[in-house]
Homo-oligomer: A and B are copies of this chain.
Amino acid sequence: MSRVSPLVDSLIEAFQCLPGVGPKSAQRMTLHLLERNKNAGLVLAETLSLALENVDKCSSCRIFTETELCQICTNEKRNKSQICVVESVSDVFAIEQSNEFNGTYFILHGHLSPIDDIGPEELGLEKLFLRAKSQDTSEIILATNSTLEGETTSHFIYDNIKDIESLKVTKLARGVPLGGELEYVDRGTIMHAFSGRQTLKPTEL
């Protein structure tokens, strides 16, 4: 596409590194910032370079943070004896939003995938196993995605920590999602929902 200014062209090009942004959206973002929102754009540029230069993985849970330990690992109100193992940081955001979990995390940043050369080392499993062996840890909650790769990764982790004394290893319940209509729920989920069915107590339901 013939355009009018090398700098504007490079900006349209640069925006396309963002997920879900193609040439049209990149053009719209560029013109929007130039036309209406220069200040917000400058703030974005500064925050972006600051974050990319300073943010790294928390040395305990591998979440993104600009400090040695993240705000969850240093929060005294959180239960350090529980470790929830997830595949990505966005899973942490989703769990935090539910306000259900008050323990700590361990982020794998992926799942085992021999074909992509992603083994235990890339997922930082050595560090996880060390934390699992520690006296301070009482429970590991395996919360990888309910996909083939996620389940495989959970299995591998379970095999490596199942013999640790007095350590409880759990995984998230599988079942019918809230608001889910049985008619449209897949066979596998229904199988899990049946095998994991729970006895009602008079105070429930």
Contacts and interface: CB of A to CB of B under 8 A. Distances in A.
A160 to B, nearest CB: 24
Interface in A31-45: 31-35, 37-38, 40-45
A93 B55 contact: no
A92 interface: yes
A50 B46 CA distance: 11
Contacts of A51: 7-8, 10-11, 30, 34
A48 B52 contact: no
Interface residues of A, number: 61
Interface stretch (A17-25, A131-139, A181-189): A17-25
A49 interface: yes
Complex copy number for this chain: 2
Contact of A32 (B2, B7, B19, B48): B19
Chain A binding surface, main DSSP class: helix
A50 B14 CA distance: 12
Contacts of A92: 4
A66 interface: yes
Contacts of A32: 18-19
A90 B27 contact: yes
Contacts of A71: 3-5
Contacts of A65: 4-5, 7-8
Interface of A: 1-8, 10-11, 14-15, 17-20, 25, 27-35, 37-38, 40-55, 58, 63-67, 70-72, 88-90, 92-93, 96-97, 109
